[in-house]
Amino acid sequence: MNQAERLLWVALISALVALGVSVFVVVRRPDPFDPITYQPQRIERVNEDSGQVVVPTVHGFAGIPAIRLDDTVPATGVRCNKADVSVEVTSALFWERVDVPGTRINVFRFLPGLIDPGCVPLRFENPIPDDVAVRVKDRPQQWRIAGLVTPTDPNGVTEPWLTESFWLVP
């Protein structure tokens, strides 16, 4: 093999290697960005002074928490950001009927927020949306509150969360 042929082979192999690297770079997807996690949220109130946990009840309803329509729905949980930096997110919150699946009431969508690194306990007193109260006014129903949190990073992975089921009682 003469020098011209060797140069031709080297050029051909170099071109194939460059093409392979280019294809790999174009085809390779970036790693997903999945720093946010939630523990299941419980329907309960925590007394600020004593630390005592109280599950709301209504006489005649057992097994899962029960809340009257003129009350709020208390929820506790833990949210974690595993990243070393604060993460910009958008959030959605909705109420889902449990005893007859398919009913979903949107409370908000695309609410921006910032989640700092680490884990934090969460405590909420959720007002019952009018669209839910109208459905419950005649008879008790089982509901849960759910949401989605999505990092605004282009590779951000949506993290769902939800409360345990509870009765809403007129």
Instruction: Please determine, for residue 65, whether its predicted confidence score (pLDDT) is greater than 80.
Output: yes
pLDDT at residue 33 in the model: 96
Assess contact for 13 and 6: CB atoms under 8 A.
no
In this prediction, residue 48 has a pLDDT band, given cuts at 50, 70 and 90, of confident
Q: Of residues 107 and 48, which shows the higher confidence score?
A: 107
pTM (predicted TM-score):
0.80
Strand 36-38 and strand 66-68: the pairing is unpaired
pLDDT, mean over the chain: 90
